[in-house]
Amino acid sequence: MGIKMEKRRTTDRRGWLMMPLRANVPDPGDGTWQLASCPECGRECWSRQLPEGFTEEMFEGRLCTMCALKAALW
């Protein structure tokens, strides 16, 4: 079983917003990133602004990258 990753379209629904783990990106170059905690595992990660044309309601929620990948598998 694998994960198919594609660019998200504004017509897509569900899925998770992935927040990069702070362990992987200790110092983001973009000042808009806000330090957050993953609601699933509690690890520190970065919450980012949504791209233009997207709203929070289009997604299941936000998870760190690892938890979002696990959620996609199960």
Residue 42's pLDDT is: 97
Task: Name the token pair of 34.
Answer: 């806000």
Q: Are 21 and 45 in contact (CB under 8 A)?
A: yes
The percentage of the chain sitting over the pLDDT mark of 70, rounded to a whole number, equals 92
Which is nearest to 61 in space by CA: 34, 39, 32?
39
Query: What are the pLDDT tens digits along the chain (74 aa)?
Result: 566 776 777 777 777 888 999 999 999 988 899 999 999 999 999 999 888 888 888 888 899 999 998 987 77
Q: For the whole model, what pTM was predicted?
A: 0.77
Name the residue type at position 8: R
Give which of 65, 68, 23, 71 is closest to 44, Cα–Cα. Answer: 23
User: What pLDDT is attached to residue 1?
Assistant: 55
Residues 10 and 2: beta-carbon distance below 8 Å: no
